[in-house]
Amino acid sequence: MELLFQQSDYETGKGVLPSQEIKDFIKVGRIRSPLEVTPSQIQPASIDLRLGPEALRVQASFLPGQSSTLLTKANSLLVNRVDLTHPDGALLEPNAVYIVPLTESLALPADVRGLANPKSTTGRLDIFTRLITESGEEFDRVPKGYSGELYVEVVSRTFPVRIRRGMTLNQLRFVRGNPAPAGDSRLRELAKENLRLVDEEEPGQADINRGWPITVDLLGNGSDAVAYKARRHTRPVELDKINYYDPAEFWEVIPRPASGYIILEPGGFYILASKRKVRVPPDHAAEMVPYDPAMGEFRVHYAGFFDPGFGYGAGGEIPGTRAVLEVRAYEMPILLEDDQLVGRLLYYKMAGPPERVYGTGIGSSYQQQGLALAKQFTRTPASQSAAPEPRAPPLVQTQLVS
């Protein structure tokens, strides 16, 4: 069937598309939905994707590919169907695999592709999500010119969680052309122009190597607490309950180690903070990437996008924000030392300036944070001492080992 589109009122250049062009995609039918797309879904450089009315619990995850449609493959592995429209929502059991058709679908132009990542809160709750397209060959990647439905694979790795239709667990960023990240020489220029911090923690030029370095803080930045470790066998977390749960029920506080290091237990999930702050000027978007896939058997960061203005504001009024690191060790214990390099931030040019930048004015929960849990947990005195700075999000996805 031939697709008909309205006349576009707004088109930027090459790079990461800003919120105005995402809104234009909705208007002209490039982003489609049977339900109206709400303003809260539109971020400075991405759109939040909503869960549909049903989840399919399947026996196992599977690799995307062209051998069959996604739902055909999912139905062949079907355990049961889960109704997400029930007033009480639906409970997702830990480590069970669910495939959820999303409310939004796409009909992208031939020069635009998509990149997906979990939302910040999703990552901080250890909920693993991957976007899937029909006949796609990669998770979290939408090919140029894609036309079709979208699905998300959801696995809650630690907590049982309760979800409902219309909730947003992941987000989609659009890119026109094939822009490369800023090289080291450009990053050094940015460091002088826009990334400079008010304290002395800014890395020197020698530290900029294939991206902006991100290291881990185990000294506490003035707090006795340096990390949280998730407890197991807890009651469910209802994602729409904000500032509600006592952190002590779900998290163990790890104090500042006298040795300068901590040992991550296999299968453990940890929340830590970066030592250096992050700033993203409004004309750039950023993404966390692994430092070295051969470093060790652990993963850092589920939520990989940093929006324009993160830790920066509209005009540079924010002097940087620490990134929250979501860390999981796998098959063996891992020793993690203070100031250890765990990832690098890549900066990409925006195709045009966004109407509004990242911050509380657009409903962002984590603009100025230290060590901070997801927004479902209360800010107790203990957690406030662990996070002396105002709140902000867990940003980025970084996988150090595939």
Sign of CA dihedral 122, 111, 284, 39: negative
How many independent structural domains does the chain possess?
A: 2
pLDDT confidence of residue 91: 97
Q: Is 242 found in the same domain as 155?
A: no
| Residue 125 placed within a domain | yes
Q: Is 152 found in the same domain as 54?
A: yes
| Residue 338 placed within a domain | yes
Cα-to-chain-centroid distance, residue 118? 4
| Among 156, 176, 196, residue at a domain's last position | 176
| Residue 172 placed within a domain | yes
Which runs of consecutive H residues, i.e. helices, occur in 137-254?
184-190, 247-250
What tokens were used for 301?
């960061």
Q: Is 51 found in the same domain as 132?
A: yes
pLDDT confidence of residue 246: 97
Helix (H, G, I), strand (E, B) or coil at 116: strand
- Residuewise pLDDT in 10s, the chain (402 residues): 345 556 566 667 899 999 999 999 999 999 999 999 999 999 999 999 999 999 999 999 887 776 667 888 888 888 999 999 999 999 999 999 999 999 999 999 999 999 999 998 999 999 999 999 988 888 999 999 999 999 999 999 999 999 999 999 999 999 999 989 999 888 888 887 765 543 445 545 447 878 888 889 999 877 889 999 999 999 999 999 999 999 999 999 999 999 999 999 998 999 999 998 889 999 999 998 766 555 555 566 555 899 999 999 888 888 888 999 988 887 789 899 999 888 888 999 999 999 988 875 555 555 556 788 999 999 854 444 333 333 333 333 333 222
Q: CATH code at 367?
A: 2.70.40.10
Report the distance separating Cα 341 and Cα 292, nearest Å. Answer: 10
Q: Is 204 found in the same domain as 226?
A: yes
Number of C-beta neighbours around residue 159 at 10 A = 23
Q: Is 100 found in the same domain as 19?
A: yes
Q: What is the DSSP string of 39-66?
A: GGGEETTEEEEEB-SEEEEESS-----S
Helix (H, G, I), strand (E, B) or coil at 177: coil
pLDDT confidence of residue 66: 66
Q: Is 367 found in the same domain as 242?
A: yes
Number of C-beta neighbours around residue 31 at 10 A = 23
pLDDT confidence of residue 125: 95
| Among 143, 176, 209, residue at a domain's last position | 176
| Residue 2 placed within a domain | no
Q: Is 300 found in the same domain as 363?
A: yes
Sign of CA dihedral 342, 353, 389, 242: negative
Q: Is 98 found in the same domain as 55?
A: yes
Give the domain range for residue 235: 184-399
One-letter amino acid for residue 200 of the chain:
E
Taking alpha carbons only, the member of 374, 383, 392 closest to residue 224 is 383
DSSP at 221: T
Q: Is 211 found in the same domain as 343?
A: yes
The 3-state secondary structure of 123-165 reads: HHCCEEEEEEECCCCCCCEECCCCEEEEEEEEEECCCCEEECC
Q: Is 239 found in the same domain as 304?
A: yes
Report the distance separating Cα 398 and Cα 401, nearest Å. Answer: 9
| Residue 6 placed within a domain | no
| Residue 5 placed within a domain | no
pLDDT confidence of residue 335: 92
| Residue 9 placed within a domain | no
| 350 contacts 287 by C-beta, under 8 angstroms | no
| Residue 8 placed within a domain | no
| Among 128, 143, 176, residue at a domain's last position | 176
Q: Is 258 found in the same domain as 169?
A: no
Q: Is 207 found in the same domain as 94?
A: no
What tokens were used for 304?
């990989």
